Amino acid sequence: MSKNRLFVGNMSYGLTEVDLENAFAEFGTVRSVTIVTDRETGRPRGFGFVEMGTDEEARAAVNGLNNRELDGRAINVDIAKPRESRGGFGGGGGGGGGRW
């Protein structure tokens, strides 16, 4: 499994994808940048993902940027974990609240 996809957390809400790309480009080729936004409001949620060109570049970016201040906040950078399956059924259960 490739380890060149990075999780970036504790981001300032004013940070843009261009800002992230510029910061990470110092450590190698940036393949993609995604800032996660709220589905309903479209506002940033304070975290995102950066995909670097190689695993080595990704490790260099983690070492160089983790806990470094970007737009007034110390960002958290780590190798992204694989997304867990959410399954086909939501949690919920319901059940009647009627009287017996």
Q: What is the pLDDT of residue 100?
A: 44
Q: What are the backbone angles phi and psi of residue 10, rounded to the nearest 5°?
A: 60, 35
Question: 8 or 92: which carries more pLDDT confidence?
Answer: 8
**Global pTM value:** 0.81
Domains and CATH numbers, the chain: 5-79 (3.30.70.330)
Residue pLDDT, tens place only, 36-74: 999 999 999 999 999 999 999 999 999 999 999 999 999
Mean pLDDT of 91-95: 50
CA nearest to 11, candidates 84, 63, 69? 69
Q: At what angle do helices 17-25 and 55-65 cross, to 10 degrees?
A: 100
Q: What is the pLDDT of residue 61?
A: 98
Q: What is the pLDDT of residue 82?
A: 84
